[in-house]
Structure formats: C-alpha cells, structure tokens
Amino acid sequence: MLTLGLFLHPWFSNQSPTTLTDALAHPPSTLHWFGTDLMGRDLLSRLVYGARISMMVGLVGAGVSLFIGVLWGAVAGYVGGYCDGIMMRAVDILYSLPSVIFVIVMITTLEGLFKNWLLQNFSPEAAGVARLLFLFAGLGAVSWLTMARIVRGEVLSLRTRSFVDASRAMGASHTHILLTHILPNVAGVVIVYLTLTIPSVILYESFLSYLGLGIQAPQASLGSLLAEGSAQINSLRLYWWMVVFPGLLLVVMLLTLNFIGDGLRDAFDPRSEKI
C-alpha cells in the first residue's frame, strides 16, 4: 500500500524528471536524494515517474490478458467438443513458441505499421503514446495463456452443474448463461490469478525496456532505468546508485504485489489453512 501511495504522488519530488542540471552523475546528496543520472537528471523523480509507468503497464497488460484469457477459456470450456480441442491446442502451440520472439515481432510489426501514419497525422508525442499501447498489446498477448487454461478448467466443471442445466431448461440463451451463471463463479479464481499476473507483466516490461523495446527515452520505466544503470558498470567509477535504487524499488513493488496476490489466494481458497 505504501508503494502504491508513492505512485499517486508525482509531486513527491519537486524536480522534474527531465530537467537537466549541471550535476552529472552525482552520488546521492541532500539536493538529489538518490543522486543524478548521466545527464544530470534527478534520479528520485525519474524513479517515481518510472515506477508509475511500470505500474500502469502492469495493470493494463494484465487487463488485456484478463480479457483475452477469460473470453478464450470460457468459450473453449463452454462450447466443448471440437471447438475446445482446437482452441486449447492453439494455446499449447503458443506455449511452445518462445514468447520473447513473439513479442518482439509483434511490437516491431505494429510499430512499423502505425509509425508513419501517426507521424503524418499526429505529433511525434503520439508515436510515443502508441509505443505504450503496443507494449500493452504485446504483453497482454503473451500472458493470457495460463489464464485461458485456468478459466477453461473451471468452466468445464461448472458447465455440468445443475444450476446451469436448470437455467438452460428454462430457455436461457448461451450468452445469458455464460454471463450470469458461469463467469461470476469463475471470478474468484480469476481475480487471484490476475493479481499474480500483474507482477509478472511488470517483470516482462522491465525486461523489454532493458532490451530497448519498451518505454522510450525521455520517458523511463524501472527496466530502462536499470538498463541505463547497468550499462555504466565499470571498475573506474562506480555509479552504484543508478542500479541499486531502481532495483530496490522494483523489488519492493513486486513484493507488495505478490503479498497482495498471496493474501487473496489464501482468502479465496478454502482448502488452504492460515499460514
């Protein structure tokens, strides 16, 4: 919660994350609590902004995976038969492709398709926003597989329950049954898994930003800050604060989210005793 609070206050630091100062690569001081980066930007305010972006990517990416995963799993589990077979084999095959390649090809493809169009019709800033959108799409597109499997399993067992039969006997349509009877029953499992998806999406985003495929400069995410920091490792000068602080923040953020996820799982799962 403490971590979440931090992201909601970009005015935490009164220095702009992009303001350049003369203090190039200064270690932490009273003026710049976490030091400055190579171009003299205040690391603390960059971290706050970066963490907000990472968090947003995590939330939206998990949201996209939720949408695709639940839809796919619910349809496969509910319709059953051949349809189920084909849809789940597709999931199996996507599992056996390395997801990194998939994401890279997808992001660069989308960008290739839209970049010129955006530059012509809108401003360069729009292209930056578009990059964020592609990132959401790409991350969502690779993280829905497990969700689909879980939902399908649940729906398969729910489908044969008597209240579904009763509803069908009363002439309810398939959409109606899916929306009012099946999905609410899946919600618990889905919410639990969703909270565990968010940290993994954040992790993936930091990895992509590390590759230079994620958030573009001058914007920053925790991953790109880490990449900047670890590019500066050499034995002559140690810019340790550029690695340690983003790393620490990422770890704290993931810890918080995992705590929430674990707690929710314990609360929803009747079998698990209090740990």
Partner 1 sequence: MYFLKRLLVLPPLLILISLIAFLLVRTAPGGPFDKERKPASPEIERRLLERYHLDQPLWKQYLLYLKGLSQGDFGPSLKQRNHTVNDIISQALPVSATLGAAAFLFSLGVGIPLGFYTAARRGHGFELAGSSLALLFVCVPALVVGPVLVIVFAVHWSIFPVALWGGAWHMVLPTITLGLYFSGKVARLMREGMLTTMHADYIIAARAKGLSESAVLWRHAFRIAVLPVVSYSGPLLADLLTGSFVVESLFQIPGMGVFVINSALNRDYPMIVGLVLVYAVLLLVLNLLVDAAYTWLDPRVRYD
Residue 66 Cβ vs partner 1, minimum distance, rounded to whole Å: 21
* Subset of 212-231 contacting partner 1 (CB under 8 A): 223, 226-227, 229-230
Q: Which of 48, 23, 49, 47 is nearest to 36 (CA)?
A: 23
Q: Which of 203, 216, 260, 264 binds partner 1 (CB under 8 A)?
A: 203
Residue at 270: amino acid letter: P
Which listed range, 49-57, 120-128, 179-187, 251-259, lies at the site for partner 1 (CB under 8 A)? Answer: 251-259
Distance of CA 213 to the CA centre of its chain: 15
Tell me how far apart the alpha carbons of residues 211 and 189 are, in angstroms, rounded to a whole number: 33
Tell me how far apart the alpha carbons of residues 98 and 18 are, in angstroms, rounded to a whole number: 36
Which listed range, 14-22, 36-44, 100-108, 185-193, lies at the site for partner 1 (CB under 8 A)? Answer: 100-108
Residue 14 Cβ vs partner 1, minimum distance, rounded to whole Å: 28
Per DSSP, the residues of 97-142 read: S-HHHHHHHHHHHHHHHHHHHHHHHS-HHHHHHHHHHHHHHHHHHH
Structural contact between residues 34 and 245, judged by C-beta atoms closer than 8 angstroms: yes
Q: 177 or 253, CB closer to partner 1?
A: 253
- Footprint of partner 1 on this chain (CB under 8 A)? 93, 95-98, 100-102, 104-105, 108-109, 112-113, 199, 203, 206-207, 210-211, 223, 226-227, 229-230, 233-235, 238, 240, 243-244, 247, 250-251, 254-255, 258-259, 262, 271-272, 275
